[in-house]
Structure 1
Amino acid sequence: MSATTTSVTLEEFLKLPETKPASEYINGEIIPKPMPKGRHSRLQGKLCAVVNELTENQKIAYAFPELRCSFGERSIVPDVAVFVWERIPFTVDNEIPDNFDLPPDWTIEILSPEQKPNKVIGNILYCLKYGSRLGWFLDPDDLSILVFLPEQQPVLLQGDDFLPVLSEIELAVTVNQVFGWLKMGS
Structure 2
Amino acid sequence: MTAATSKSLTLEEFLQLPETKPASEFLAGKIIQKPMPKGRHSRIQGKLSNEINRVTEEQKIAYAFPELRCSFGNRSIVPDIAVFRWDNIPFLDNGEVPDRFSFPPNWVIEILSPEQKPNQVIGNILYCIENGSELGWLIDPDDQSILVFWRDRAPSLRQENDVLPVLAEIELELTANQLFSWLKMGN
Q: Same fold (TM over 0.5)?
A: yes
Asked whether 1:130 is paired with 2:131, we answer yes
Q: For 1:5 and 1:71, how far apart are their aligned partners in 2?
A: 22
Aligned-residue CA RMSD (Å): 0.7
Aligned to 2:120: 119
Alignment map for 1:72-91 (pairs within 5 Å)? 72-91=73-92
Percent identical: 69
Q: For 1:70 and 1:27, how far apart are their aligned partners in 2?
A: 11
Q: For 1:153 and 1:38, how far apart are their aligned partners in 2?
A: 31
Offset, 1:151: 3.0
Aligned to 1:169: 170
Runs of 4+, deviation exceeding 3 Å? none
Offset, 1:5: 3.2
Aligned to 2:180: 179
Alignment map for 1:42-121 (pairs within 5 Å)? 42-121=43-122
Q: For 2:54 and 2:152, how far apart are their aligned partners in 1?
A: 30
Q: For 1:128 and 1:62, how far apart are their aligned partners in 2?
A: 18
Asked whether 1:24 is paired with 2:25, we answer yes
Please state whether the residue corresponding to 2:53 is helix, strand or coil.
Answer: helix
Give CA-to-partner distance per residue, 1:42-97, whole Å, 9 cap, x none. 00000100000101111110000000000011000000000000000000000000
Matched residue type, 1:95: E
Matched residue type, 1:53: R
Q: For 1:151 and 1:75, how far apart are their aligned partners in 2?
A: 24
TM-score normalised by structure 2 residue count? 0.98
Please state whether the residue corresponding to 1:3 is helix, strand or coil.
Answer: strand
Aligned to 1:4: 4
Structure 1 runs not aligned, ≥5 long: none
